[in-house]
Structures are given as structure tokens and as C-alpha cells.
Amino acid sequence: VAEGEPSEGREPFELPRFWDALGQTFQVTSQEATKLSLAFSRPPLPSAENCRKLSEDVQNAILAVATVYYWLPKGQGTTLRKMVRDATTEVVEGMIQLTDTILNAPVESLSQEQLISTGGVWEACEQVSNLPRDNQAAVVSALAASLGVVKDAVEEMEHALVEGQDPYGDIMEDEELGFRGNRDTYWSEADRQLLSSCMGLMKASKACLKKVLAAVKAHGKADSPEHIAQLDDLADIANEISPSVDELALSMYPPVNPLAVRLNAAKLASVLTKVLEIAKTSHVCPPSEEGWVQFLAGAVDHNMNKVKNFTQGQL
């Protein structure tokens, strides 16, 4: 039987019932962590029988968490499933850490490590209330996280490119390494012309994520396998924007290697083009959204062509 599919006598999968069950298993696990920690917080040690019972209860709680996670079918969305899996893994790893801490700590008193580990399990278990409830909400969350990272990268590079600013100005001068006279520490005028086009691509990345996020919020649906799959495709490709922006930004610092900049710019432009193509053919982009898709596609092409022109004679 496929994951999440009803077998003989089993009722069809329902998201609300899944969330109720997951919430209950996380709550029970949190309670078992408290019981386990209290039992080993002061002498005397629990009896062999009590230890066995505590171990069984912890094991059963963790098995229940894992079992409920596996009820969630991939058809509900791979983006949602990954977020639930990560939350489940955090709970399991937290309980493992707590158990290790208890096994390795002296019994005389409640150790700081044990308190931290117990709190870690509580915190991991509480995260269930913050998880997105369907794949549309999961994709919104993923896109918002990527947008935040790209915004930071754009702001950092804009700050570094301020006219006349030394990108390494915050690093203390070192007599042995030399400073300012070394061209490896600053941008030439030709560098700055090339990097302005790269900044155009980075800003297009931010605008692309912002617009796709707004479109998914406004039009995204998780009401059919086709819509859920389209949202996952969008999240998967959009997830490549942030690392591509970072790689381009790193290659923009002096000494500038034009070939490296051009390759990283081309990679980012390719990712952005794919994001826009997938968005355009999905349900999140009705005719009312087509204007910004065309505008951003043009901006990506324009800036990439400028990068090619600036690097043509330098390769």
C-alpha cells in the first residue's frame, strides 16, 4: 500500500485528522521527556522495573510520532512533507540527545545540560503548532524564507558597492599583508560597470521571489493533485535562487575574475528564467499576473546581455 493511501478497512486520508494525531503524539512525547528527566533529576535512581517502563514509554511515543508522519502522503505536497519531516526529525533527535545526556551525567543533581536538552525536546514538540497546514501554506513559507535571504544578500552587496567604499574596509590593516595599494582589495571602474549589471540580476531575483510569493498567496491552491504538484515545482526551482545569488555575490568581490562572474550570472539568469516559465504556466499566474512575468523576464535578459558585453573582451 502506498504511503497515505487507504488500505482494506482504513478510512481515506484527511488532513485535519492528521494534524490532530500529529499534535497529540508531539504532546505525549513532550510529557515523556518531562517524566524521563524528572526521574533522573535526583537520587535515588529509578528501579530496574521503572527504568524499563520509562524506556518503553519513550520508545512508544517516538514510534507514534514517526508512524503519524508516515501517514502523510506525498500527494499532499513534497514541500509540506519535508517541513513535517524536519519537525519530526527534530523531536526524535531531541529525545536522543536528552537520553544521551542522562546516561552520561552524574546523578547527584540535575545538570545544566539535562535542563537544556529537556527544554530542547519541549521546544521541538511545540513547533507542530507553527507548521503550515497544507502545501499552499508550506510553499508560501518556503518562498518567504528564500526572499529574506536574498534581500539580505542584495543589501549587503549594495552596501559594499557604495562609490569609493573599500569592500574590505572592516578588516584591520596588516603590515605583513599590505593594504590599499594592493589591487586585489578594491574594484576598478571596469569592475564596477560589470557589477552594476550583476546587481541588476540580484535585484531581479528579489523582485521575482516577491512577485511569485504574492501570486502564490493570492491564487495558490492545494485542492487537487495538479495544483499541489505545480506548487511543489515552483518551490523546488525557487529554492535554487538564494544559493545562486550567494555564488554570484561571492564572485563579485575583488579580485574580480570576469569568467567566474559571467558563469555565476548565467547560472542565476537560467534559474530565474525557469522560475518565471514555471510560474507562467501554473495556476498561480492567471492573465492578471502575466505583466510582471514578462517584465522580469525582460529584465533578466537585459542584465545578462550587459554582463556578456562587459566580459566579452576580458575572457
* 15-39 and 48-71 helices, crossing angle to 10°: 160
* Collapsed DSSP state (helix, strand, coil) of residue 161: coil
Closest alpha carbon to 141 in 132, 128, 152, 150: 132
Per DSSP, 92 falls in state: H
13 close to 2: Cβ distance less than 8 angstroms: no
What's the pLDDT at 116?
94
What confidence tier does 182 reach under pLDDT thresholds 50, 70, 90? low
What's the DSSP call for residue 46? P
Q: Is the Cβ–Cβ distance between 131 and 141 less than 8 Å? A: no
**What is the CATH code of the structural domain delimited by 15-129?**
1.20.1420.10
Q: Above 90 in pLDDT, residue 74?
A: yes
Is residue 267 helix, strand or coil? helix
Please write the tens of the pLDDT for every residue from 49-62.
Answer: 999 999 999 999 99
Instruction: Compute CA distances 288 → 143, 153, 280, whole Å.
Output: 21, 30, 11
pLDDT per position as a tens digit, 16-29 = 999 999 999 999 99
Which pLDDT score, from 0 to 100, does residue 7 have? 43
Predicted local distance difference test score (pLDDT) of residue 157: 93
C-alpha span between 197 and 203 (Å, rounded): 10
Q: Which is more confident, 217 or 165?
A: 217
Position 20 scores a pLDDT of 97
Mean pLDDT, the chain, as a whole number?
A: 90
What is the 3-state composition of the chain as percent helix, strand, coil, each rounded to the nearest 5? 75, 0, 25
pLDDT at residue 43, rounded to an integer: 82
| Residue 112 banded pLDDT, cuts 50, 70, 90 | confident
pLDDT at 44: 86
Give which of 230, 256, 161 is closest to 202, Cα–Cα.
Answer: 161
Could you give the maximum distance between any two Cα atoms of the chain, in Å? 79
Percent of the chain exceeding pLDDT 70 equals 87
Pull the grid cell for residue 74: 506525498
| Mean pLDDT, range 210-223, rounded to an integer | 98
**Residue 276: per-residue pLDDT:** 98
DSSP 3-state of 145: helix
Query: d(Cα 166, Cα 180) in Å, to the nearest integer?
Result: 8
CA atoms 39, 45, 46, 48: torsion sign: positive
- The amino acid present at 280, given as its one-letter code, is K
C-alpha cell at 257: 575574475
> Are 68 and 25 spatial neighbours (Cβ–Cβ below 8 Å)?
yes
> Are 268 and 201 in contact, with CB atoms under 8 Å apart?
yes
- What is the arithmetic mean of pLDDT over 61-73? 97
pLDDT greater than 70 at residue 177: no
Nearest to 265 by CA among 207, 208, 188, 194: 194
290-311 and 258-280 are packed helices; what angle lies between their axes, rounded to 10 degrees? 160
Average pLDDT over residues 242-256: 95
Mean pLDDT across the stretch 177-184?
Answer: 50
Q: What is the pLDDT of residues 115-129, one digit of tens each?
A: 999 999 999 999 999
pLDDT score at 110: 73
Rounded distance between C-alpha atoms, residue 27 and residue 48, angstroms: 26
Residue 172: pLDDT band (50, 70, 90) is: very low
Whole-number pLDDT of residue 55:
96
Distance CA 66, CA 61 (A): 9
Specify the higher pLDDT residue, 162 or 25. 25
Regarding the domain delimited by 135-166+174-311, which CATH topology (the fold level of the hierarchy) does it fall under? I/LWEQ domain (1.20.1410)
pLDDT value for 107: 66
Collapsed DSSP state (helix, strand, coil) of residue 186: coil
Task: State whether the Cα torsion 75-78-80-86 is positive or negative.
Answer: positive
* CA angle, 192 then 195 then 198, to 5°: 165
Domain ranges of the chain: 15-129, 135-166+174-311
Q: Which of 2, 132, 23, 130 is nearest to 71 (CA)?
A: 2
pLDDT digits (tens, 9 = 90+) for 262-285: 999 999 999 999 999 999 999 999
Grade residue 2 by pLDDT with cuts at 50, 70 and 90. Answer: very low
What is the number of other CB atoms lying within 10 angstroms of the CB of residue 123?
13
| Per-residue pLDDT tens digits for 37-52 | 999 988 888 999 999 9
Per-residue confidence (pLDDT) for residue 97, from 0 to 100: 96
Task: Inform me whether the pLDDT recorded for 168 exceeds 80.
Answer: no
